[in-house]
Amino acid sequence: MATFFGEVVVAPSRAGLDEEEEAREETPEDREIRRELEKKREIDVLWTWQSGGRAEEPLVCSRFIVAIGRNAAAFLSSFILDSVCWEVVGVVKLWNEWCRTSSTTNVLPTDSFCLFYRLISDPTVLLCQCSCYVAEDQQFQWLEKVFGSMQKKGLQVTILSTCPVADYKTQESTLTLVSPFLKALKTKEFQEQVCCPLLEQPNIVRDLPAA
């Protein structure tokens, strides 16, 4: 605290402390705890056609729709999955600070927060409902294991996600915005017409949708 007005006060700093902490040798107990934690945070993707445990050919998929977050997952449930045209074909099991999925082998829709559905009339169309939190250190692993099971050629991926209106950056007042509203981002490879206006700068997408 300053003793008089205008005094320069040196704020506490952690500069140098990190180097000291890194210099400390990791004990065998620390290494074991770290390995166990890393193992616990590993993501498992279970597919119904891989129940035999043998390596299968990559799944032929033409369209893959991923709903990330509770609102997007609820949208899929209400407007797309509310029919008998879909079957559950896979599940993601993960563990982190905010998500504890079932540890059972045969996972039912009520046991998991990340499920894959296949269109019965066209098995190349897949949906994914991911209403659970995927931590930053698990996002690349999620992508690697999910997309590692699919053929990439000719695959069109659509991501559905939501964010609070208060996070939307615009010159007009957010109070006058008609909510909810829909915006889109697309890659240069996507040549079809988008169904809504594009997301304006400097708005960005975060977390698993961005990954």
For 70-117, give the DSSP string: HHHHHHHHHHTSSSSSEEEEEEEE-BSSS-B----SS--GGG-SEEEE
Tokens of 59: 């799944």
113 contacts 132 by C-beta, under 8 angstroms: yes
Collect all residues with Cβ–Cβ distance below 8 Å to 122 and sequence separation of at least 6: 62
Collect all residues with Cβ–Cβ distance below 8 Å to 69 and sequence separation of at least 6: 130, 131, 161, 162
More confident call, 59 vs 127: 127
Taking the C-alpha atoms of residue 82 and residue 197, their distance in angstroms, rounded to an integer, is 27
Q: Residue 4: is its pLDDT beyond 60? A: no
Backbone angles phi, psi at 68, to 5 degrees: -110, 125
Tokens of 196: 């809504």
Assess whether the previous peptide bond of 202 is cis (omega < 30° from 0). yes
Cα-only R_g, the chain:
23
DSSP 31-57: HHHHHHHHHHT--EEEEGGGTT-S--P
Q: Residue 127: is its pLDDT beyond 90? A: yes
Taking the C-alpha atoms of residue 50 and residue 149, their distance in angstroms, rounded to an integer, is 10
Assess whether the previous peptide bond of 180 is cis (omega < 30° from 0). yes
20 residue type, one letter? E
What residue ranges do the domains of the chain occupy? 37-163
Q: What is the pLDDT of residues 156-179, one digit of tens each?
A: 999 999 988 888 888 887 778 888
- Nearest Cα neighbor of 207 from 156, 161, 146, 157 is 161
Q: What is the pLDDT of residues 47-101, one digit of tens each?
A: 886 554 445 678 889 999 999 988 999 888 888 888 779 998 988 888 777 776 6
pLDDT of residue 188: 86
pLDDT of residue 168: 87
Angle value at C-alpha 39, between 36 and 45, nearest 5 degrees: 160
